[in-house]
Chain A
Amino acid sequence: MWTYLKALEFPVKIKNPDARAAKIIISQYGGPDGELGASLRYLSQRFAMPTPEAVGILNDVGTEELAHLEMVGAIVHQLTRGLSEEQIKSAGLDAYFVDHTAGIYPASAAGDPFNAFAIASKGDPITDLSEDMAAEQKARTTYDNILRLVSDPDVREPIKFLRAREIVHYQRFGEALRIVTDSLDRRNIYAFNPALSCGK
């Protein structure tokens, strides 16, 4: 269950629309390393976690990712407010516009709709937590790439906040992986699926 707080985790107040920036930032909404995939990944994986620490971190990071999804949606929404047809065409946002107008749709920068193949939920805590650490780094790289392409400080500040959160989440997932590994049966030297060996 969730409840809603009527505030963004970090403020988004963009004065100047920018179709080109919107076209790339939408990737962090519904692209391969975006916030939709992040929230679904962690909130799905938590069911198979064997230790309270790992359950907690997946539940709570998954929840924070929903707040990040909202922030990215807010950024794209504000970047596409009041654009002219000419601005849409010259920035190459016309392919998105014809299907979604200025609505928010989960897709990558290249236009591929969100695909659940971009996430995994393997039912093995070692596998899943290793994936999660990579996922945080992939998202961090994507935010770094966005920062290379966008100069407006109104856009960069919330992107920098999101980038910093990936680093904290990576750290916490590393700790969870260590806790799960330490909790394994000592005879299980290859650390194979602890979800299946629970209680045996």
Chain B
Amino acid sequence: MNDKERLLRDVRIAFFKRTEANLFLDTHPEDREAGRYFRDADREFEAAKDAYERRFGPLCPGGESFRDGKFNWIAAPWPWQGEA
């Protein structure tokens, strides 16, 4: 696994943790432990996303989409192409 794959895996893991906690909290909004888990996963996701985007370009539309006069958003690979 190269750096790009590893950083994207970190993003995916953190995003999944946040998604799963989000669904649990939808039907257990008073659960404080789940709330803390959600908040930690959210921080982990933001950090992982920033680490990936700094080196390998945008994951979400935003600041990294256009950099140094170039629109990087449309640069391959797209997720379904099976490259990362």
Contact = CB atoms under 8 A, between A and B. Distances in A.
Interface of A: 3-14, 52-53, 56-57, 60-61, 64, 70, 73-74, 77-78, 168-169, 172, 175-176, 179
Contacts of A74: 79-80, 82
Contact of A172 (B26, B82, B84): B26
Given A3-B60, A64-B19, A8 B27 contact: no
Contacts of B26: 53, 56-57, 60, 172, 176
A124 B29 CA distance: 23
B8 A3 contact: no
Interface residues of B, number: 24
A25 to B, nearest CB: 14
Interface string B37-68: 00000000000000000000011110000000
19 contacts: A3-B60, A4-B60, A5-B59, A6-B58, A6-B59, A6-B60, A7-B11, A7-B15, A8-B12, A11-B12, A57-B23, A57-B26, A60-B23, A60-B26, A64-B19, A64-B23, A74-B82, A168-B20, A175-B27
A179 B80 contact: no
A60 B20 CA distance: 10
